[in-house]
């Protein structure tokens, strides 16, 4: 249920309403929607209650969707997220680029400068790496965060990196511009709640076998915590076919846009696991209506400690961005 408070409501009126909901088993949360304070909560309260009788209440809306905060019912305008001088949202297509993992200061800073030269708008790179095998490179951890901070300082590009554990959120928060929750953690509810308490954008990747419904409900955990800056990222789901690492579900982009006001990105590198398919599927993502892509790049992919087989060379990234700009002009989509 959505309760819209009058512009002239008092703090005492709001507190009385919120306490009333809590006392009856509801879990209210607050958000601002078009210059109005809105109180939302799960509609499982006992008995039929007339909230219009409360002083300070202007309107009561019964929601018809389980996506209480991410659906168009609660927000009529698409979400736009400002990150430094950049913006993620409708009418724009951003390219996020960088190696899969931060391997060393020399490696990452070298590639970060090449990414900026190629035209990337954000930098990516894993300090904490969730790997299928415990014997694979797990990342540099907190020392990797220091390298990411230096890369942002030198390139002036915003950073996106993953928080793998609730214990690391504090350290990731201090360094990154966008906190990533990876596909393996899409339903790590304690982690979702923790990043939901922060005031930085959260990039939520779709789980390996997650339905669109499960993906959006995972986003609700972050939104419920008070963080309205959620960006969704399609990165491939499990399939029977072995030609690619996963199945890149580009249909998810317009489907999610139809259900939610949240921006949607695509990660063709992780979805496909093949560098030769990154360029065509990046262009396909733009055509499908995505708000950007995450692309893995490496100038020495044969020596990469993580996913070198899917990383493209920075020179190829420059060619891809040039093609995206031409496509964007034809589709009336701004590619910075």
The number of angstroms, rounded, from the C-alpha of 214 to the middle of its chain's C-alpha atoms is: 15
Q: Residue 319 is encoded by which pair of tokens?
A: 């060619």
- Rounded Cα distance between 204 and 207, Å, is 9
E-strand spans in 237-329? Answer: 264-266, 292-296
Q: What are phi and psi of 311, to 5 degrees?
A: -85, 135
Q: Angle at CA 71, nearest 5°, toward 70 and 74?
A: 95
Q: Which domains does the chain have, with CATH numbers?
A: 2-61 (3.30.70), 81-331 (3.20.20.70)
Asked if residue 70 lies in contact with residue 77, where contact means CB atoms within 8 angstroms, the answer is: no
* Degrees, nearest 5: CA angle 218-220-291: 80
Whole-angstrom Cα distance, residue 273 to residue 307?
A: 8
Model pTM greater than 0.85?
no
> pLDDT per residue over 140-177, tens digit each?
888 999 999 999 999 999 999 999 999 999 999 999 99
Other CB atoms within a 10 A radius of the CB of residue 10 amount to 12
How many CB atoms neighbour CB 200 within 10 A? 16
11-67: per-residue pLDDT in tens? 999 999 999 888 887 778 787 766 778 787 766 555 557 888 899 999 887 766 778
Residue 304 pLDDT? 86
| CA nearest neighbour of 64 among 54, 74, 50 | 74
């Amino acid at each position: 249920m959505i309760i819209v408070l009058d512009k002239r409501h008092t703090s005492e009126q709001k507190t009385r309403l919120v306490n009333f909901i809590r006392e009856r088993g509801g879990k209210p949360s607050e958000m601002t929607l078009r210059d109005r304070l809105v109180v939302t909560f799960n509609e499982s309260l006992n008995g039929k209650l007339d909230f219009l009788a409360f002083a300070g209440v202007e309107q009561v809306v019964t929601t018809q969707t389980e996506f209480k905060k991410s659906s168009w019912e609660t927000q009529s305008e698409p979400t736009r997220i400002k990150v430094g001088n950049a913006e993620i949202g409708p009418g724009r297509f951003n390219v996020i680029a960088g190696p899969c993992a931060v391997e060393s200061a020399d490696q990452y800073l070298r590639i970060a400068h090449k990414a900026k030269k190629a035209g990337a708008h954000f930098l990516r790179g894993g300090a904490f790496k969730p790997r299928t095998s415990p014997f694979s490179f797990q990342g540099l951890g907190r020392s990797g965060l220091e390298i990411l901070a230096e890369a942002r300082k030198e390139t002036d590009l915003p950073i996106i990196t993953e928080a793998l554990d609730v214990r690391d959120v504090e350290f990731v928060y201090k360094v990154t511009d966008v906190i990533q929750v990876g596909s393996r953690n899409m339903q790590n509810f304690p982690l979702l709640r923790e990043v939901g308490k922060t005031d930085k954008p959260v990039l939520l990747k779709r789980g390996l076998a997650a339905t669109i419904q499960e993906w959006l409900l995972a986003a609700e955990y972050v939104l419920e915590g008070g963080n309205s800056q959620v960006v969704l990222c399609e990165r491939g789901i499990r399939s029977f076919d072995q030609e690619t690492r996963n199945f890149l579900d580009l249909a998810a982009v317009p489907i999610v846009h139809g259900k939610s006001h949240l921006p949607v990105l695509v990660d063709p590198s992780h979805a496909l696991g093949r560098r030769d398919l990154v360029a065509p599927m990046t262009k396909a993502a733009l055509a499908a209506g995505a708000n950007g892509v995450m692309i893995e790049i490496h100038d020495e992919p044969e020596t990469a400690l993580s996913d070198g087989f899917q990383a493209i060379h920075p020179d190829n990234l420059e060619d891809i961005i040039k093609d995206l700009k031409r496509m964007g002009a034809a589709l009336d989509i701004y590619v910075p």
